[in-house]
Amino acid sequence: MRDVLDVTKALADGNRLRVLTALAGGELCVCQIVELLQLAPSTVSKHMSVLRHARLVEGRKDGRWMYYRLPDRDASETVRQAVTWVQRSLAESPQTSQDQRKLKAILAMDPEKLCKKQNGN
């Protein structure tokens, strides 16, 4: 039951749903997620923590960079079904379409410059 509670809690926020749909295209750096959501890095960090706790995303650190992706095939059935349901349910959403356009522009940016811009450097 704990897994279901963690997943439903994680899915109960629009920004976290947006992250799950954005990650369908592949791994993203936290700076790219911050740029997409237009939220403070600390707020995005909290959202990602909730998603990780529910095992809806996996993270890896590469130097000072943090990257997130959807879970691998060895994820629990609950997690796989939840991610699939979110992606199917929101595939035609105007917000998802807008995010995909915005993400295309974000992916064209240099991640290091993007991170420095967000940190005021």
Does an H or E element contain 60, and which? Answer: strand 58-62
Please tell me the predicted confidence (pLDDT) of residue 120. 66
Q: Indicate the number of domains in the chain.
A: 1
Q: pLDDT per residue over 63-99, tens digit each? A: 888 999 999 888 898 999 999 999 999 999 999 999 9
CATH classification at residue 31? 1.10.10.10
CA distance 86 to 52: 16
87: Cβ–Cβ under 8 A, 6 or more apart, which residues?
20, 21, 24
- Give the pLDDT mean for 18-46: 95
Q: Give the residue numbers spanning the domain of 75.
A: 2-118
